[in-house]
């Protein structure tokens, strides 16, 4: 309570108090929402409470802090939100001075571990999966059932895994495949690489060859009665040289997939792109093979799993392909609530396993962990942090955006400033979330800004397509009339500046290049918006340019 | 602002699959220093892909795989690409993306056999915008390389353009981790500039400037008996010099490599007085005395910089648009031996120095340079003096020069053109320019004559400043749009009128059968020689024929070619040489 008497923190404290009530309501609602989702997990309510308190702004009583100096530090960390310059003052250094030398390694390990988490944020997601992602959990149940049917009962199965970007489609299917008791043959195709059926077929042959070659070569002489024998042998030829096989034969290869010694799972990433192939023949033969699998005929199972973000993919299938597709569509989802979002961030920021545990002493590690976790809680309950995260959540629910948002604050941690601050997050939000169209516009040199302003004036005069000649004349006149320009325009060396701007695509050519048109007469359009130019000119502080620009307004 | 160091630590600690570095001014230098920093780390392998060099997918694949394995195809064994072992020599990794991914995996297992831990692979792609133009099908797989190959690989794009301009449609590519390098300033980050001065930190932009051209020269051995400009003693001076060059140039360009180019061109000349002084001293001293090459005093350096300041601005004007190259410029502007005396014995009063320089008969262009004080911008007169004394080594025919110097009559391009072309070709060129720039309806007013041979008074029409914007699309003056097409007949007619007015034969020279004024000229302009000259000008691309040669109906269409022939300033210089005032013959010209 001693800290509360200080003047600085009180305003920050009073505001969160309002928030608490609002957010409490939110949490209540979420609980009821989740119950509607009917995922019976008895441990949930207790854990939820634990998490929601953590996500709340700090109650008036500060967190139990390990030492007195860090208490000082906590007030220090909150002041920046009131007064902008977050300079590390002496108290910070003092604590760090008596804490840090052996904690440097800890910090590095934490950075490494957190960055590792950031790469695949769903790992953490999965830890809290029963809380956070019921859709994904259901999806993974479904997929597991399906794949088990294929591997254990030799069924032919097909399904589509639908979901927005970074909602965990690939993760779910990979996890399910890796958890299968009997390892199937897995063929992974991607619509981005296999733009034609021919490429896809060759890749299927290659991957089958990689995963079965030893067994396949032994099996062939043993089963001379198989119908598909000629095709299998054609595949064994494929081992020697895939190029020699005609494309027509490659198609026959698919129908002999069930005769392989193990069941096969074909994963088609970017499934919607496969539907764009002519006649969809690859999809047809795959799904046809799946459908015609008979139980008990001695064949092994085949599952075809398509992953796509496109919701209307099923409509893109041709009729004959669609009728062979099972129609199973399993959906994945991104986090649906802000609490999940913040918890994901918390999960990322509090790594469970850090680097080489044996290298550092356990004591150091545990004290550091305690301090670190306290700091992360403080960071996550900071008003600004919460605001930025909420904003991000309302723009996009892409978890990758969240992780990109957190990279820069993590990277800028140094032994001198080892804790996360909301200011860093704010900076990173500017560069990573919704980027300003040209972040460096105000730093451009004088001639470039002149050209941009001239283009604004030209546009106002009624010439939307500008040539260099126009801009040159405009800038030249301006520089002649103004006495205080810092540069003098001698010759046309401003043309080099213009070319720099063209290479940055601030000026975009209207028509293609032609050998008969002189460079100065090629028509361009200014890609920078007038408002951005205005802001940049105001920010760069050249009065000269400001008056010139305002002359047109 | 994220720096290169942060990117490196991101890749080193736990790399992000796809990073996009946006650097407007110095993408090339950024890529270089990024790679140098990454290579210094353990267990990181980098490959640099220049999308201009690697213009097909096959070239990219080969470059990546050969680069990671440090494989150099050699001529003797048939320029084979890398393959994991001798048995699989026929395996090709460049056929398709699939083959490339297989190659990456084979290579990874090969490397991890050697190193135990598989190295982290980093692909640095320069000019990724070229990928979008040339082979858009590789763009998405490159951004998703990690998930496609399932290997520890990071792709870094370094571009002057924004990701928004490059990114493929439909959200196909992953969103990168954005890094904006910003525009380098002197106040920015600091770095170690030269290897000898590890302890002193300098602005990072200086480092970039110096690294662009001259860094390797400092490591060359330099004997103190015959010192070269890159003697280690000069390093502190060099640092000062760089900052001095930067101050002059950075209002015009922020590109460190451009500034470095100018700095590299001037540096040997800049230290030459010092070296000269050293040589003089060692000549004066006996053969036994050892004279130390030493850094001059602060005052001397100040005089030196003041002396060379104008020549740096001149270098900027010449070298930045590449009117000439650095070596030629440095050779032409090398200070002679009297400069040292000048700097050393510079008396306080400018008149005396004037006197002194005259006595020594030094280069003319050194004169105004000394008089101009460092703060005051040079006056017009001095600049014209300076440009007049420019060496005319580049006295070729720069037909396609983009930046003809408009300011003075000594412009090399138009002068050269005026000197090389025959008189009649110059007339053709001027009439072509008039035909290109004037609307056809104005010809009668400009050139029409009555039967009496008197020229009608041309009503002076000058475009007024547009007071009120009229409705409808604005009429763009022809001088902004560039040359318009004209038929050959019109060219001939204008040529006739021009010749009649400016080059008419005396009446006694005229054959008797021509009675009507202008009839003789009319006949002359239909001669084969004129057509031949037009064809010759077309071959020089001073004129451009726009209609295809196989078209028979209608007259052939022409326009003036790009470069000199379309520039008002240059053509008016040529016209002046023939006694024609071009501005009177141009329909709408503001100035």
- B272-288 pLDDT, tens per residue? 888 888 888 888 776 66
pLDDT at B487: 92
**Chain A residues with CB-CB distance to B13 below 8 A:** 108, 111-112, 115
pLDDT at B363: 38
pLDDT at A267 over 90: yes
Identify whether the C-beta of residue A341 lies closer than 8 Å to the C-beta of residue A327: no
Mutate: best of A401, A496, A497, A542, partner B, most B CBs <10 A:
A496
Taking an 8 Å cut-off on Cβ atoms, the answer to whether A195 and B483 are in contact is no
Query: Minimal Cα–Cα distance from B298 to chain A, Å?
Result: 28
Taking an 8 Å cut-off on Cβ atoms, the answer to whether B566 and A521 are in contact is yes
Q: pTM for this structure? A: 0.76
Q: Which of A236-240, B37-41, B348-352, B575-579 has the lowest mean pLDDT?
A: B348-352
Instruction: Clarify whether residues B100 and B130 are in a common domain.
Output: yes
Residue B308: name the closest of B269, B277, B336 by CA: B269
Listed in sequence order, the residues at least 6 apart from B529 whose beta carbon sits closer than 8 Å to its beta carbon are: B424
CATH code for position A449: 1.10.10.10
Taking an 8 Å cut-off on Cβ atoms, the answer to whether B24 and A440 are in contact is yes
Mutate: best of A166, A505, A506, partner B, most B CBs <10 A:
A505
- Sign of the CA dihedral A415, A417, A419, A422? negative
Instruction: Clarify whether residues A142 and A178 are in a common domain.
Output: yes
Instruction: Clarify whether residues A473 and A424 are in a common domain.
Output: no
Burial annotation A161-189 (CB, 10 A radius, 16+ → b, else e):
bbbbbbbbbbbbbeebbeebeeebbbbbb
pLDDT at A250: 62
Instruction: Clarify whether residues B414 and B522 are in a common domain.
Output: yes
The string of DSSP codes covering A346-371 is HHHHS-SS-S-TTTS-HHHHHHHHHH
- List the structure tokens of B49: 């892909």
Query: Minimal Cα–Cα distance from B146 to chain A, Å?
Result: 11
Residue B556 belongs to a domain: yes
What integer is the mean pLDDT of B504-531?
A: 76
Query: Minimal Cα–Cα distance from A265 to chain B, Å?
Result: 17
Percent helix / strand / coil, chain A, rounded to 5: 60, 5, 30
| Last residue in a domain, options A399, A432, A465 | A432
Mutate: best of A186, A512, A517, partner B, most B CBs <10 A:
A517
Percent of chain A with pLDDT over 70: 67
What integer is the mean pLDDT of A180-204?
A: 88
pLDDT at A47: 39
Q: Which of A429-438, B127-136, B379-388, B478-487 has the lowest mean pLDDT?
A: B379-388
Taking an 8 Å cut-off on Cβ atoms, the answer to whether B144 and A192 are in contact is yes
Instruction: Clarify whether residues A393 and A321 are in a common domain.
Output: no
What integer is the mean pLDDT of B122-136?
A: 89
Instruction: Clarify whether residues B335 and B372 are in a common domain.
Output: no
Note the pLDDT tens digit of each residue in A290-315.
Answer: 888 876 677 888 999 999 988 888 89
Residue A258 per-residue DSSP state: G
Taking an 8 Å cut-off on Cβ atoms, the answer to whether B178 and A432 are in contact is yes
pLDDT at B415 over 60: yes
Burial of B544 (0-12, 13-18, 19+ CB in 10 A): buried
Listed in sequence order, the residues at least 6 apart from B467 whose beta carbon sits closer than 8 Å to its beta carbon are: none
CA distance A389 to A383: 10
Q: Which of the pair, B21 or A362, is modelled with greater confidence?
A: B21
How big is chain A by its Cα radius of gyration, in Å?
Answer: 31
Residue A165 belongs to a domain: yes
Instruction: Clarify whether residues B575 and B515 are in a common domain.
Output: yes
Instruction: Clarify whether residues A250 and A321 are in a common domain.
Output: yes
Instruction: Clarify whether residues B338 and B368 are in a common domain.
Output: no
What integer is the mean pLDDT of A143-154?
A: 89
Chain A residue whose CA is closest to B258: A496
pLDDT at B188: 57
Task: Report the DSSP pairing between strands A523-526 and A466-467.
Answer: antiparallel
pLDDT at A362: 66
Note the pLDDT tens digit of each residue in A88-100.
Answer: 444 444 444 445 5
Domain encompassing residue A409: 338-432
Q: Note the residue count of chain A.
A: 553
Instruction: Clarify whether residues A393 and A534 are in a common domain.
Output: no
| Last residue in a domain, options A389, A415, A432 | A432
- List the structure tokens of B192: 């170690």
Number of H helices, E strands in chain B: 27, 10
pLDDT at B459: 55
**Chain A residues with CB-CB distance to B469 below 8 A:** 461-462
Residue B355 belongs to a domain: no
Chain B residue whose CA is closest to A408: B2
Query: Minimal Cα–Cα distance from B71 to chain A, Å?
Result: 25
Instruction: Clarify whether residues A198 and A287 are in a common domain.
Output: yes
**Chain B residues with CB-CB distance to A309 below 8 A:** 171
pLDDT at B465 over 80: no
Taking an 8 Å cut-off on Cβ atoms, the answer to whether A518 and B566 are in contact is yes
pLDDT at A59 over 50: no
Largest CA distance in chain A: 96
Instruction: Clarify whether residues B144 and B225 are in a common domain.
Output: no
CA distance B332 to B324: 11
**Chain A residues with CB-CB distance to B8 below 8 A:** none
Query: Minimal Cα–Cα distance from A488 to chain B, Å?
Result: 9
Instruction: Classify A206 as helix, strand or coil.
Output: helix
Note the pLDDT tens digit of each residue in A442-491.
Answer: 888 888 888 888 888 888 887 788 888 888 888 888 887 776 666 665 55
Name the phi and psi angles at B449, rounded to 5: -130, 150
Burial annotation A533-552 (CB, 10 A radius, 16+ → b, else e):
bbebbeebebebbeebbeee
**Chain B residues with CB-CB distance to A112 below 8 A:** 13-14
CA distance B307 to B367: 10
Instruction: Clarify whether residues B370 and B454 are in a common domain.
Output: yes
Residue A159 belongs to a domain: yes
CA distance B291 to B281: 7
When pLDDT is cut at 50, 70 and 90, the band that residue A131 belongs to is: low
When pLDDT is cut at 50, 70 and 90, the band that residue B507 belongs to is: low
Instruction: Clarify whether residues B147 and B230 are in a common domain.
Output: no
Listed in sequence order, the residues at least 6 apart from A207 whose beta carbon sits closer than 8 Å to its beta carbon are: A185, A186, A187, A188
Average pLDDT, chain B: 75
pLDDT at A100: 57
Instruction: Classify B251 as helix, strand or coil.
Output: coil
Average pLDDT, chain A: 72
When pLDDT is cut at 50, 70 and 90, the band that residue B202 belongs to is: low
Nearest to A519 among B13, B559, B562 (CB): B562
Taking an 8 Å cut-off on Cβ atoms, the answer to whether B403 and A492 are in contact is yes
Q: Provide the number of structural domains found in chain A.
A: 3
Taking an 8 Å cut-off on Cβ atoms, the answer to whether A469 and B480 are in contact is yes
Instruction: Clarify whether residues A399 and A515 are in a common domain.
Output: no
Taking an 8 Å cut-off on Cβ atoms, the answer to whether B171 and A486 are in contact is no
Nearest to B562 among A431, A504, A518 (CB): A518
Taking an 8 Å cut-off on Cβ atoms, the answer to whether B98 and A463 are in contact is no
Instruction: Clarify whether residues B482 and B421 are in a common domain.
Output: yes
Q: How many other CB atoms are there within 10 angstroms of residue A434's CB atom?
A: 12
**Chain B residues with CB-CB distance to A488 below 8 A:** 377
Query: Minimal Cα–Cα distance from B448 to chain A, Å?
Result: 30
pLDDT at A466: 86
User: Of A182-186, A428-432, B184-188, B343-347, which has the strongest mean pLDDT?
Assistant: A182-186
Residue B135 belongs to a domain: yes
Q: Which of the pair, B328 or B465, is modelled with greater confidence?
A: B328
pLDDT at A64: 40
Instruction: Clarify whether residues A465 and A323 are in a common domain.
Output: no
Instruction: Clarify whether residues A202 and A342 are in a common domain.
Output: no
Chain B residue whose CA is closest to A191: B141
Task: Report the DSSP pairing between strands B486-487 and B557-560.
Answer: antiparallel
Name the phi and psi angles at A158, rounded to 5: -145, 145
When pLDDT is cut at 50, 70 and 90, the band that residue A246 belongs to is: low
CA-to-CA dists, residue A271 to A170, A325, B147, B548, B554, angstroms: 12, 13, 16, 50, 58
Taking an 8 Å cut-off on Cβ atoms, the answer to whether A520 and B402 are in contact is yes
**Chain A residues with CB-CB distance to B17 below 8 A:** 119
Query: Minimal Cα–Cα distance from A337 to chain B, Å?
Result: 23
Residue A469: name the closest of A447, A494, A444, A487 by CA: A494
pLDDT at A21: 40
Instruction: Classify B207 as helix, strand or coil.
Output: helix
Residue B197 belongs to a domain: no
Q: Which of A214-218, A546-550, B506-510 has the lowest mean pLDDT?
A: A214-218
Chain A residue whose CA is closest to B136: A192
Percent of chain B with pLDDT over 70: 72
Residue A15 belongs to a domain: no
Query: Minimal Cα–Cα distance from A443 to chain B, Å?
Result: 6
pLDDT at A395 over 70: yes
When pLDDT is cut at 50, 70 and 90, the band that residue B190 belongs to is: low
pLDDT at B295: 72
Residue B320 belongs to a domain: yes
- List the structure tokens of A232: 């299998």
CA distance B421 to B429: 10
Residue A324 belongs to a domain: yes
Q: Which residues pair with B202 in a beta bridge?
A: B191
Residue B354 belongs to a domain: no
Domain encompassing residue B419: 364-462+477-590
CA distance B353 to A249: 92
Instruction: Clarify whether residues A327 and A346 are in a common domain.
Output: no
pLDDT at A155 over 80: yes
Listed in sequence order, the residues at least 6 apart from B536 whose beta carbon sits closer than 8 Å to its beta carbon are: B425
pLDDT at A243 over 80: no
Residue B259 belongs to a domain: yes
Residue A353 belongs to a domain: yes
Instruction: Clarify whether residues B552 and B411 are in a common domain.
Output: yes
Name the phi and psi angles at B551, rounded to 5: -80, 130
Instruction: Clarify whether residues B339 and B371 are in a common domain.
Output: no
Note the pLDDT tens digit of each residue in B476-488.
Answer: 778 888 888 999 9
Instruction: Classify A456 as helix, strand or coil.
Output: helix
Taking an 8 Å cut-off on Cβ atoms, the answer to whether A445 and B251 are in contact is yes
Residue A424 belongs to a domain: yes
Instruction: Clarify whether residues A404 and A445 are in a common domain.
Output: no
Q: Provide the number of structural domains found in chain B.
A: 3
Taking an 8 Å cut-off on Cβ atoms, the answer to whether B24 and A432 are in contact is no
User: Of A241-245, A509-513, A536-540, B194-198, which has the strongest mean pLDDT?
Assistant: A536-540
The string of DSSP codes covering B449-517 is B-TTSPBPPPPP--PPP--SPPSSSPPPPHHHH-PPPEEHHHHHHHHHHHHHHHSPPPTTTS-TT--ST
Query: Minimal Cα–Cα distance from A276 to chain B, Å?
Result: 14
When pLDDT is cut at 50, 70 and 90, the band that residue A354 belongs to is: low
pLDDT at A492: 56
CATH code for position B83: 3.40.50.300
Residue A259: name the closest of A234, A241, A279, A239 by CA: A234
Taking an 8 Å cut-off on Cβ atoms, the answer to whether A411 and B10 are in contact is yes
Residue B338 belongs to a domain: yes
Residue A259 per-residue DSSP state: G
CA distance A84 to B210: 36
pLDDT at B411 over 60: no
Residue A452 per-residue DSSP state: H
Taking an 8 Å cut-off on Cβ atoms, the answer to whether A112 and B14 are in contact is yes
Reported ipTM? 0.77
Instruction: Clarify whether residues B579 and B449 are in a common domain.
Output: yes
Residue A96 belongs to a domain: no
Note the pLDDT tens digit of each residue in B54-73.
Answer: 999 999 999 998 888 888 88
CA distance A440 to A536: 9
Q: Which residues pair with A266 in a beta bridge?
A: A187, A304
**Chain A residues with CB-CB distance to B406 below 8 A:** 491-492
Q: Which residues pair with A274 in a beta bridge?
A: none
pLDDT at A186: 92
The crossing angle, in degrees rounded to 10, of helices A68-78 and A90-99 is 140
pLDDT at A369 over 50: yes
When pLDDT is cut at 50, 70 and 90, the band that residue B410 belongs to is: very low
Instruction: Clarify whether residues A348 and A260 are in a common domain.
Output: no
**Chain B residues with CB-CB distance to A504 below 8 A:** 24, 160-162
**Chain A residues with CB-CB distance to B180 below 8 A:** 431, 439-440
CA angle (A141, A143, A146) in 5-degree steps: 110
| Last residue in a domain, options A397, A432, A467 | A432
What integer is the mean pLDDT of B485-504?
A: 87
pLDDT at B41: 84
Taking an 8 Å cut-off on Cβ atoms, the answer to whether A195 and B137 are in contact is yes
CATH code for position A267: 3.40.50.300
In this structure, which long-range contacts are made by residues B45-48, counting pairs with CB atoms below 8 Å and at least 24 apart in sequence? B45/B111, B45/B119, B45/B120, B45/B121, B45/B122, B46/B121, B46/B122, B46/B123, B46/B124, B47/B121, B47/B122, B47/B123, B47/B124, B48/B124, B48/B126
CA distance A142 to A163: 15
Taking an 8 Å cut-off on Cβ atoms, the answer to whether A469 and B479 are in contact is yes
Task: Please provide the distance, in angstroms rounded to a whole number, between the alpha carbons at the two ends of chain A.
Answer: 56
Mutate: best of B4, B9, B13, partner A, most A CBs <10 A:
B13
Q: Note the residue count of chain B.
A: 591
């Amino acid at each position: 309570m001693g800290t509360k008497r200080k003047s600085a923190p009180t305003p920050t404290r009073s505001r969160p108090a309002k928030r608490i009530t609002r957010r409490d309501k939110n949490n209540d609602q979420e609980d009821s929402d989740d119950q509607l989702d009917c995922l019976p997990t008895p441990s949930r309510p207790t854990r939820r409470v634990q998490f929601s308190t953590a996500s709340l702004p700090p109650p008036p009583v500060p967190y139990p802090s390990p030492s007195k100096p860090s208490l000082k530090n906590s007030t220090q960390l909150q002041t920046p939100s009131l007064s902008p310059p977050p300079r590390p003052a002496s108290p910070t250094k003092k604590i760090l001075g008596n804490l840090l030398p052996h904690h440097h390694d800890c910090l590095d390990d934490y950075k490494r571990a957190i960055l590792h988490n950031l790469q695949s944020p769903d790992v953490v997601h999965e830890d809290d999966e029963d809380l956070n992602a019921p859709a994904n959990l259901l999806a993974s149940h479904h997929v597991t059932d399906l794949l088990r049917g294929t591997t254990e009962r030799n069924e032919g199965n097909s399904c589509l895994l639908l979901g927005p970007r970074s909602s965990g489609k690939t993760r779910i299917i990979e996890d399910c495949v890796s958890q299968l008791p009997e390892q199937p043959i897995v063929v992974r195709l991607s619509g981005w690489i296999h733009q034609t059926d021919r490429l896809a077929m060759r890749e299927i042959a290659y991957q089958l060859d990689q995963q079965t070659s030893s067994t396949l070569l032994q099996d062939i002489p043993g089963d001379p009665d198989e119908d598909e024998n000629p095709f299998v042998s054609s595949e064994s030829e494929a081992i020697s040289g895939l190029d020699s096989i005609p494309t027509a034969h490659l198609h026959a290869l698919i129908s002999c997939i069930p005769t392989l010694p193990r069941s096969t799972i074909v994963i088609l990433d970017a499934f919607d792109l496969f539907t764009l192939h002519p006649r969809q023949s690859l999809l047809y033969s795959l799904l046809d093979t799946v459908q015609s699998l008979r139980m008990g005929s001695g064949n092994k199972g085949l599952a075809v799993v398509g992953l796509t973000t496109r919701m209307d993919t099923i409509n893109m299938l041709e009729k004959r392909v669609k009728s062979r597709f099972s129609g199973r569509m399993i959906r994945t989802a991104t986090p649906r609530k802000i609490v999940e979002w913040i918890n994901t961030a918390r999960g990322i920021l509090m790594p469970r396993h850090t680097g080489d545990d044996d290298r550092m002493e356990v004591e150091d590690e545990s004290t550091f962990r305690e301090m670190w976790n306290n700091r992360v809680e403080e960071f996550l309950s900071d008003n600004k942090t919460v605001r930025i995260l909420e904003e991000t959540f309302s723009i996009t629910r892409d978890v990758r955006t969240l992780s990109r948002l957190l990279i820069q604050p993590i990277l800028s941690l140094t032994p001198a400033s080892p804790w996360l601050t909301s200011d860093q997050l704010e900076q990173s939000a500017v560069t990573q979330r919704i980027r300003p169209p040209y972040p460096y516009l105000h730093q451009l040199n004088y001639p470039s800004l002149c050209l941009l302003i001239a283009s604004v004036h030209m546009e106002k005069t009624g010439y939307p397509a500008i040539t260099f000649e126009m801009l040159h004349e405009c800038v030249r006149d301006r520089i002649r009339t103004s006495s205080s320009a810092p540069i003098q325009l001698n010759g046309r060396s401003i043309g080099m500046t213009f070319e720099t701007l063209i290479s940055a695509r601030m000026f975009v050519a209207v028509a293609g290049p032609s050998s008969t048109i002189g460079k100065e007469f090629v028509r361009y359009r200014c890609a920078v918006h007038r408002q951005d130019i205005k802001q940049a000119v105001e920010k760069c502080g050249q009065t000269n340019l400001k008056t010139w620009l305002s002359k047109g307004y | 602002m994220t720096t290169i160091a942060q990117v490196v630590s991101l890749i080193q600690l736990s790399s992000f699959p796809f990073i996009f570095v946006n650097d407007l001014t110095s993408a090339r230098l950024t890529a270089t220093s990024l790679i140098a920093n990454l290579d210094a780390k353990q267990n990181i392998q980098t490959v640099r892909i220049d999308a201009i060099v690697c213009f097909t997918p096959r070239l990219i694949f080969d470059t990546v795989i050969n680069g990671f394995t440090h494989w150099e195809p050699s001529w003797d064994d048939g320029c084979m690409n890398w393959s994991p072992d001798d048995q699989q020599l026929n395996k090709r990794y460049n056929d398709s993306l699939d083959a490339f991914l297989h190659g990456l995996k084979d290579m990874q297992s090969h490397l991890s056999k050697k190193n135990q831990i598989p190295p982290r692979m980093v692909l640095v792609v320069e000019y990724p915008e070229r990928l979008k133009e040339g082979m858009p099908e590789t763009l998405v797989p490159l951004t998703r390389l990690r998930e496609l190959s399932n290997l520890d690989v990071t792709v870094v794009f370094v571009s002057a353009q924004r990701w928004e301009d490059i990114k493929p449609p439909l959200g196909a590519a992953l969103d990168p981790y954005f890094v904006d390098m910003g525009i380098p300033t002197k106040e920015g980050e600091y770095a170690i500039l030269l290897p000898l001065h590890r302890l002193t930190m300098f602005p990072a932009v200086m480092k970039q400037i110096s690294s662009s051209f001259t860094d390797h020269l400092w490591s060359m051995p330099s004997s103190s008996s015959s010192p070269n400009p890159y003697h280690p003693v000069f390093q502190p001076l060099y640092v000062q010099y760089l900052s001095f060059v930067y101050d002059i140039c950075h209002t015009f360009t922020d590109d460190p490599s451009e500034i470095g180019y100018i700095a590299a061109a001037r540096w040997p000349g800049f230290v030459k007085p010092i070296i000269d002084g050293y040589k003089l001293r060692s000549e004066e001293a006996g053969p036994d005395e050892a004279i130390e090459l030493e850094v001059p005093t602060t005052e001397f350096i100040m005089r030196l910089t003041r002396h060379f300041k104008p020549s740096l601005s001149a270098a900027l004007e010449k070298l930045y648009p590449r009117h000439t190259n650095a070596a030629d410029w440095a050779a032409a502007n090398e200070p002679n031996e009297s400069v040292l005396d000048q700097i050393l014995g510079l008396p306080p009063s400018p008149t005396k120095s004037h006197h002194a320089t005259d006595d020594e008969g030094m280069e003319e262009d050194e004169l105004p340079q000394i008089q101009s004080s460092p703060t005051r911008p040079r006056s017009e007169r001095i600049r014209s003096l300076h440009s007049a004394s420019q060496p005319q080594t580049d006295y070729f025919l720069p037909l396609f020069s983009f930046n003809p110097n408009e300011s003075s009559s000594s412009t090399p391009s138009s002068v050269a053109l005026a000197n090389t072309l025959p008189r009649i070709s110059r007339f053709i060129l001027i009439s072509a320019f008039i035909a290109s720039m004037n609307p056809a309806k104005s010809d009668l007013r400009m050139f029409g004559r009555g039967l009496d041979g008197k020229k009608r008074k041309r009503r002076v029409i000058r475009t007024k400043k547009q007071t009120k914007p009229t409705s409808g699309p604005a009429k763009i003056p022809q001088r902004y749009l560039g040359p318009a097409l004209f038929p050959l007949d019109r060219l001939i007619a204008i040529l006739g009128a021009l010749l009649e007015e400016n080059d008419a034969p005396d009446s006694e020279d005229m054959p008797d059968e021509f009675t009507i004024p202008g009839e003789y000229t009319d006949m002359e302009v239909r001669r084969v020689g004129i057509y031949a000259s037009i064809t010759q000008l077309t071959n020089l691309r001073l004129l451009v024929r726009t209609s295809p040669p196989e078209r028979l109906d209608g007259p052939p269409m022409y326009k003036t070619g790009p470069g000199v022939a379309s520039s008002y300033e240059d053509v008016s210089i040529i016209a002046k040489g023939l006694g024609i005032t071009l501005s009177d013959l141009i329909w709408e010209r503001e100035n």
